[in-house]
Amino acid sequence: MAILHFRRIERRRTARVPLCVDLNVHGEAQNNEPFEVQAQTLSVSGYGGMMVLNPEVNIGQKLMLTNLNSGQKAECTVVSVKTGRDGKKNVAFEFIFADINFWKMCFPPAGATPIRRTLQSRLELVPATKSVR
């Protein structure tokens, strides 16, 4: 496994990607009242994501998400609730059925490093310009 920080080992099954996706979220508030709100993701992964959500939710609570871009629905479980610097609630969630492609994209495996080009290869890609006299 790749080391993320000197005290922490990377545990994600796929990489997390910063992506804003509009969602429709159905669930129950803490007073057992049903709610339906629109939310937006901050980041996504192959197994879940993180979104900004106004209603109060608890860890372990089940939510039904609808991807407003594709119309696809998926059930998820809240795994973390944190207050961001702006005072909004950042809710991390994980899909109950992991074999769906809710985001309609492919994710690199955990621990994959991005391909970096060297300066020399970048210079080779730039075509030489002709000077006109």
What tens digit of pLDDT does each residue of 105-127 get? 887 766 666 666 555 555 566 56
Report pLDDT for 3. Answer: 47
- Per-residue pLDDT for 64 more than 70? yes
Q: Which fold has domain 1-133?
A: Thrombin, subunit H (2.40.10)
pTM over 0.85: no
Strand partners, 77: 62, 94
What tens digit of pLDDT does each residue of 23-51 get? 999 999 878 899 999 999 999 988 999 99
| Higher-pLDDT residue of 107, 129 | 107
- How would residue 129 be classed by pLDDT, with cut points 50, 70 and 90? low
Q: What number is the average pLDDT over the span 64-84? A: 95
The residue ranges of every structural domain in the chain are 1-133
